[in-house]
Amino acid sequence: MWRLGYACPKGKAVTALREKEIMLEIGTQAPDFELLDQDGVARRLSDYRGTRVVLYFYPKDNTAGCTRQACGFAELHPQFTQKGAVVLGVSKDSVASHKRFQEKLGLPFTLLSDPDHEVIEAYGAWQEKKNYGKTYMGIVRSTFLIDENGMVLRASERVKAQDNPQDELDALGAL
């Protein structure tokens, strides 16, 4: 059941992990970055040292899957906070698009804009995709759990939008 006014359908808690295609390996230092958030404020990964980070990459604001995923993270946000983690969403959408998306859904976490997809590429989430026979480069829905010292604890690629938030919360609880 969705609470807190999020009008999103709920999904199940199962996600496939395909580590062989992930650029970042578990136990390595997560690349630091500086990106603008939905308010135009510069944020660095290093700003969150001392806190666990759930860093998720998603294709596009206001699409069905990305809305389901964001709403899932929003619903579970209190549990992530209880476990000492912050949630950061990243896409190549503009700061203004992120602001509209955040306000529309009432998202309680930070969205980061990477229009040049430099950070997306550094984390291995910019890959070749195929849709209806067309091949193109784009964001593969991926999530990284990063520890208090900036080390990658878990890397999940090609996650299902509706399953990803609960799956990451479960993984965080198992650490």
Domain boundaries, the chain: 19-174
Q: Which two tokens stand for residue 143?
A: 């999530």
Stretch among 2-16, 32-46, 77-91, 109-123 having the lowest mean pLDDT: 2-16
Cα torsion 26, 27, 32, 38 to 10°: value is: 50
The CATH number that domain 19-174 falls under is 3.40.30.10
Q: Clarify whether 71 is annotated catalytic.
A: no
Kindly indicate the confidence band of residue 111, based on its pLDDT and cuts at 50, 70 and 90: very high
Give yes or no for a contact between 63 and 138, defined as CB atoms under 8 angstroms apart: no
Q: What is the pTM for the complete model shown?
A: 0.85
pLDDT at 78 over 80: yes
> What is the C-alpha to C-alpha distance for residues 171 and 61, in angstroms, rounded to an integer?
25
- The single residue of 22, 66, 70, 159 carrying the catalytic annotation is 66
- Spatial distance between the Cα atoms of 80 and 74, rounded to a whole number of angstroms: 10
